Amino acid sequence: MTSTLRLGVHHFAHLRAVAEGMSITTAAARYLGVEHGHEAGPRHRAIVLRLQTLARRRGDTAWRLIGMTIRLRDFSQRPSLEAFIADRDLDGWREDEVAELYQEAYPPEPKAERRWRLRERQMRLLRELEAEAAQQARPSDRIDDWFDPACSRRLQSAGLLRLQDLLDRVAPGGRWWSGVPAIGRTKARGIEAYLRTLLPAEAGRPTRPFALPPGTAAATLPSSTRSIGTGQAGAPAALTQARTDAEALEAWVQAKAGSPATATSYLREGRRLLLWLHQERSKGLHTMQVEDCLAYMAFLEHLPPHWLSHRQATPFSPAWAPFRGQLSVASRRQAIVILGGWFDWLTGTAYLPGRNPWLMVNRRTADDRQRDELQSRAFTPETWARLLQFMDGQAPTASLLRMRFIMSFVEATGLRSSELLEATLGQFRRHRGRWALQVHGKGSRNRVIAVPGQAIGALEHYLAARHLPPLASAPATLPVLASTREPLQAISYSALYQTMKSWLARAVRHADLDLLQRSEARQASPHWLRHTCGTRAVERGTPLDVVQHQFGHSDPRTTARYSRAQLERMQDLMEAAFDR
């Protein structure tokens, strides 16, 4: 079904501005949201043609005036008759004599007067057509009712069929136009401006502010959550001094979070739940029931638009919302696990004496149907060999030598990026003739890992490139991974990430890789090196419990993700059993 472009008051405002001398480009930008000048002419002509058709249908002979720019002579320099009399000292002269003198000084201009009459007729016709044809846009209107055909097709191809769809897409901010073909930042800004013209009330309304309970000290919110909770005081026998839900959240984080990253995750999920309870259910933790748990899980699966915001905004300001986008299956699963742990703590401390509604629901989140279980974030042996071959063929520079060390060392040790960046040479120890490394890893837990010969060889070569003595006699305080400009100074994760992405980009361009290998290499990050280590170790027969300890996994199921070799063994055995 096709749709005819509707006319709004902004279309008539555009035509009046053009009639009064404003350029079509400027008027289109102001009233139609057209950012690109080459689009202004076609939009203007489409509106003119539509209105001319309407005027002709109603039998108005002035239809040709629509869209015309009638230039008028400026008569502001002509004095009034009173000023003329005073200036010429004509007091006491007869009226007909003064009129004759004035006409001689400022003779009439028939053409100019005709233009004034035409302008007046033009404006009158526009007012009549506006009263007859102008409509008010509504959120339920189709996109192609108001946007030009080309723009409508682009928006509709991204699933934006009605103005409300576009409102919901634009409201959270950020790069909302990603995924919309042929729409960039400039065009998107024009669309936003036009949407505000069409729906000033809806488009101008800020993202719903997340109101807080009465008595909230809003000034403390960016750094504290004390005022969020709506719970009552804890029971007399409670093992925590927390007296509100927000205080209980902070007490739990302080007691259980083992690292700043964990504390951030705990606070984020706890704040989201408290806000949801207050906003959507008008209750606090003490009155939360099984139905609330189920409703919250459903809420996380399909977040409403007003709970989303991509804007950089201060928490609880009008443009702020608790979520940056729809949650993945993994993120939803993590949120429920964290909340379950919080409620275990709340009941254990008797802040919520004897009532944990999360124990009464099935908290297991289904696997993501779209996830490819065969996809790995480990380099295949073929890709890995070609990447190393390319790097070994390049002229040795400080940056290349560091990258070569990173690849060989992490492939053999499986260190996390944070563990590699924080490691110092003093953490290496000899144990029965071989090297080991003490790591302060995730969750602020210590572990000792094996450092195979490949890793030690790469480190010794890297130390020599930094003009440092061998590992056995090197200064203990020096970082394992150092800046190329300051060999004694550690680097940040950003520098590590950029180093790897830069060298992989070069390798992808020049190494002998097929299309699939190039695609995988482009996606790689430093964490891929850890996955490569785990996958190679399992492929080469290393028991999973050894890999688990080397990697510092608390759950053996995490280590099992590296067991692609087990699948291949299973395929071999099943093939042998049934290939007859």
pLDDT (tens digit per residue) in 259-272: 888 899 999 999 99
pLDDT of residue 374: 57
Confidence class for position 5, pLDDT limits 50, 70, 90? confident
Cβ partners under 8 Å of residue 540, min gap 6: none
pLDDT (tens digit, 9 = 90+) per residue, 501-554? Answer: 999 889 888 888 888 888 888 888 899 999 999 989 988 888 889 999 999 988
Is the pLDDT reported for residue 134 higher than 70? yes
What's the rounded mean pLDDT across residues 319-335?
A: 87
Quickly tell me which residue has 């087990």 as its tokens.
566
Is the pLDDT reported for residue 71 higher than 70? yes
Contact 117, 144 (CB under 8 A): no
Domains, the chain, in order of start with CATH, read 221-360 (no CATH), 381-575 (1.10.443.10)
pLDDT of residue 430: 93
Residue 308 pairs in a beta bridge with 323
pLDDT (tens digit, 9 = 90+) per residue, 282-316? Answer: 999 999 999 999 999 999 999 988 888 776 666 77
Among 60-74, 154-168, 262-276, the minimum mean pLDDT is found in 60-74
What DSSP state is assigned to residue 103? H
pLDDT of residue 219: 34
What's the rounded mean pLDDT across residues 333-357?
A: 92
pLDDT of residue 214: 42
Whole-model pTM? Answer: 0.57
Tokens of 408: 């060989």
Contact 230, 278 (CB under 8 A): yes
pLDDT of residue 204: 57
pLDDT (tens digit, 9 = 90+) per residue, 408-425? Answer: 999 999 999 999 999 999
Is the pLDDT reported for residue 358 higher than 90? yes
Is the pLDDT reported for residue 212 higher than 90? no
pLDDT of residue 522: 85
Q: 254: closest CA among 45, 113, 246?
A: 246
Cβ partners under 8 Å of residue 386, min gap 6: 507, 511, 512, 513, 517
Mean pLDDT, the chain, integer: 84
What's the rounded mean pLDDT across residues 241-258?
A: 92
Confidence class for position 378, pLDDT limits 50, 70, 90? confident
Contact 277, 299 (CB under 8 A): no
pLDDT of residue 90: 79
Among 169-183, 209-223, 424-438, 512-526, the minimum mean pLDDT is found in 209-223
pLDDT higher at 86 or 267: 267
pLDDT of residue 250: 93
pLDDT higher at 248 or 514: 248
Is the pLDDT reported for residue 202 higher than 60? yes
d(CA 346, CA 339): 10
What's the rounded mean pLDDT across residues 327-336?
A: 91
Among 270-274, 319-323, 325-329, 548-552, the minimum mean pLDDT is found in 319-323
Among 91-95, 375-379, 386-390, the minimum mean pLDDT is found in 375-379
Among 65-74, 274-283, 443-452, the minimum mean pLDDT is found in 65-74
pLDDT higher at 175 or 344: 344
What's the rounded mean pLDDT across residues 315-324?
A: 77
Confidence class for position 88, pLDDT limits 50, 70, 90? confident
Is the pLDDT reported for residue 235 higher than 50? no
pLDDT of residue 215: 40
With pLDDT > 70 as the criterion, what percentage of the chain qualifies?
A: 87
What's the rounded mean pLDDT across residues 329-337?
A: 92
Sign of CA dihedral 259, 265, 268, 271: negative
Among 44-53, 99-108, 334-343, the minimum mean pLDDT is found in 99-108
Is the pLDDT reported for residue 234 higher than 50? no
The DSSP-derived string for 239-301 is SS---SHHHHHHHHHHHH--SHHHHHHHHHHHHHHHHHIIIIIS--GGG--HHHHHHHHHHHH
Q: Which long-range contacts (CB under 8 A, 24 or more apart) does 509-515 make?
A: 510/390, 511/386, 511/387, 511/389, 511/390, 512/386, 512/389, 513/383, 513/386
pLDDT of residue 233: 46
Confidence class for position 371, pLDDT limits 50, 70, 90? low
pLDDT of residue 566: 62
**Beta strand pairing status for 434-440 and 446-450?**
antiparallel
3-class secondary structure, 436? strand
pLDDT (tens digit, 9 = 90+) per residue, 307-316? Answer: 887 766 667 7
Give the side-chain half-sphere CA count within 13 A for 148. Answer: 20
pLDDT of residue 213: 44
Radius of gyration, alpha carbons of the chain: 36
What's the rounded mean pLDDT across residues 158-182?
A: 87
Contact 329, 368 (CB under 8 A): yes
Among 35-39, 242-246, 516-520, the minimum mean pLDDT is found in 35-39
